[in-house]
Amino acid sequence: QPDVTPGRCWCFRGSQGQVVIKLPARIRPTAITVQHISQAVSPPASISSSPKEIAVSGLDEEGGDTLLGSFTYDVEREAIQSFRLKNELLKAFQYIQILVRSNWGNPEYTCIYRVQVHG
d(CA 31, CA 61): 21
pLDDT in tens, 23-50: 999 999 999 999 887 665 565 656 788 9
Q: Is 40 helix (H, G, I), strand (E, B) or coil?
A: helix
Q: Residue 17: what pLDDT?
A: 94
Residue 105 maps to which CATH number?
2.60.120.260
pLDDT tens for the chain, residues 1 to 119: 566 667 678 889 999 999 999 999 999 999 999 988 766 556 565 678 899 999 999 998 887 899 999 999 998 899 899 999 997 778 999 999 999 999 999 999 998 888 999 99
Task: Report if residue 43 sits inside a domain.
Answer: yes
pTM here is 0.87
Task: Report if residue 5 sits inside a domain.
Answer: no
Q: Residue 96: what pLDDT?
A: 96
Task: Report if residue 26 sits inside a domain.
Answer: yes
What are φ and ψ of residue 116, in 5° steps?
-125, 135
User: Nearest 5°: CA angle at 116, between 72 and 83?
Assistant: 35
Task: Report if residue 50 sits inside a domain.
Answer: yes
